[in-house]
Amino acid sequence: MAAEEKIKSKPQPINLLRALGFDSKSELLESKTAYFYKNVPRVAPEAYLHAVFKPIAPALASPVYDLVAMPEVWRDFLAIQNGAHLFSGAISLHGIHPQGQLLNRRGGLDSRLPFNLVSAGRGGSWLNKELNLVIGFYGFDGSVPCLNREDGSISVYREKDGLVASWDTASLWLMDEIARLSVLFDSDGNCLVDRAETVPNGMRQLQ
């Protein structure tokens, strides 16, 4: 007698490699920890346009999920990729370092790790950390994208300006920013515009 309830389908987490256009991994350089695309030596000898980190074992990730009260949507995202550096660091997404893990000081691509989500998220005392989980930063000016623990939206904050952009979901944010930044870099990884344009400018409300 009651009307049928509409069950909201669970959004599918983004696979960054596919979103960046890599249907095959043959064009990527693979290390023990990540996939790399397009060496950009003018930035640094081992700099790459994109670095997407491989996920870690769920048993190692779970304690960190609990520690930072991570929403399920971002747990699902990190189960596919454990953070990334995109567009020569225009956007970096934090990842998980297993608790007690020692740094590999030998260097090289096999030692590359994402920025640590736990330690990196401790900065920005001007943010509401109870509501927001800091999931990365924009390389030009340090603007921080935050995942709202209550509704799953993404808000980008800049210390001197406060809220500068927002999206309804993490998937919308990532797809929109990948599309926007893709036209700001050429096929060799050269940034075609002033670096200031690699950060969101003005409010972006996507419904």
Residue 101's pLDDT is 60
CB 164 within 8 A of CB 173: no
| pLDDT tens string 67-85 | 999 999 999 999 999 999 9
Tell me how many degrees the CA angle 118-122-127 measures, rounded to the nearest 5: 125
| pLDDT tens string 7-65 | 456 678 899 999 999 988 888 999 999 999 999 988 888 899 999 999 999 999 999 99
pLDDT at residue 206 is higher than 70: no
Pairing assessment for the beta strands 144-148 and 91-93 based on DSSP bridges: unpaired
Give the closest residue to 73 by CA, choosing from 5, 140, 3, 10: 10
SS3 156: strand
Q: What is the mean pLDDT of residues 124-139?
A: 90
pLDDT band (50, 70, 90) for residue 207: very low
pLDDT at residue 160 is higher than 80: yes
Cα 45–chain centre separation = 23
pLDDT at residue 135 is higher than 50: yes
Q: What is the mean pLDDT of the chain?
A: 88
Residue 7's pLDDT is 47
- How many residues comprise the chain? 207
Domain 16-100+108-198: CATH superfamily is: SMI1/KNR4-like (3.40.1580.10)
Residue 30's pLDDT is 95
Residue 99's pLDDT is 73
Could you state, in order of their start, the residue ranges of all structural domains in the chain? 16-100+108-198
Largest CA distance in the chain: 68
Q: What is the mean pLDDT of residues 173-188?
A: 95
Give the C-alpha separation, 75 to 63, whole Å. Answer: 12
Task: List the structure tokens of 183.
Answer: 């036209």
Q: Which residues of 100-110 are buried (b: 16+ CB within 10 A; e: fewer)?
A: eeeeeeeeebe
Question: 35 pairs with which residues across the strands?
Answer: 30, 52
